[in-house]
Amino acid sequence: MYGYEIFQQVKQQSNGAILLKDGSLYPALQKLAKEGLVSFEEEAVNGRVRKYYAITKKGIKEKALHMLAFKAFVESVNRIVFPELNTI
């Protein structure tokens, strides 16, 4: 997807709760590309260059690690916020 598509997808999937800003999305994509977590291809569209981004194999592995860490974090918060559910 290109940047605006990513913005729209995140907005739609979060029911408007997450609105990415140009000032945060594009620097984040550049950083991810520099780290080899996403790749991009440039294409000329209506006289403008558009970058299409895709997650790399390295990015997929890194995402899985971050999702495990995030899951553990959420479980920890749930134990603190809802201690009554931890009696099992």
Contact present, 41 and 56 (Cβ < 8 Å): no
pLDDT tens digits, the chain, 88 residues: what are they? Answer: 999 999 999 999 999 999 999 899 999 999 999 999 999 999 998 999 999 999 999 999 999 999 999 999 999 999 999 988 876 5
The packing angle between helices 22-34 and 3-13, to 10°, is 110
C-alpha dihedral (25, 56, 74, 27), degrees to nearest 10? -20
The amino acid occupying position 47 is G
- Start-end of H helices in the chain: 3-13, 22-34, 57-81
Give the C-alpha separation, 13 to 29, whole Å. 19
**CATH (one of 3.40.50.2300, 1.20.140.150, 1.10.10.10, 3.10.450.50) for 1-55:** 1.10.10.10
pLDDT at 86: 76
Domain locations along the chain: 1-55, 57-88
